[in-house]
Amino acid sequence: MFANDEINLMCIYNTGTREGLITELTQMRGYLGAEETELLALTDSALGKLRNMSDAEYAEFDLFPDFEKEDEK
């Protein structure tokens, strides 16, 4: 469901709740400049997926960064 980069981003801003994470990502997005297109797109994608899932689905979702996949690139 979530790409590795989305999971890593969500781990940074995770508050423990879906609504809290949405709030944090939305707030962070407001600080991004128009030139930060990749991070804007990544944030928007994660926010869209978070808004479309239920709190119960989020509770079952483990937010652990997977840096090994990043190292393989």
In a domain, 10, yes or no: yes
Question: Tens-of-pLDDT digits for all 73 residues of the chain?
Answer: 899 999 999 999 999 999 999 999 999 999 999 999 999 999 999 999 999 999 999 999 888 776 665 544 4
Please, what sign has the CA dihedral across residues 7, 58, 41, 14?
negative
pTM for this model (two decimals): 0.85
Left if phi > 0, otherwise alpha if psi is -120 to 50, otherwise beta: which for 60? alpha
In a domain, 70, yes or no: no
In a domain, 73, yes or no: no
* pLDDT value, residue 73: 46
* pLDDT value, residue 71: 47
Distance of CA 33 to the CA centre of its chain: 18
Note down the domain range covering 30. 4-61
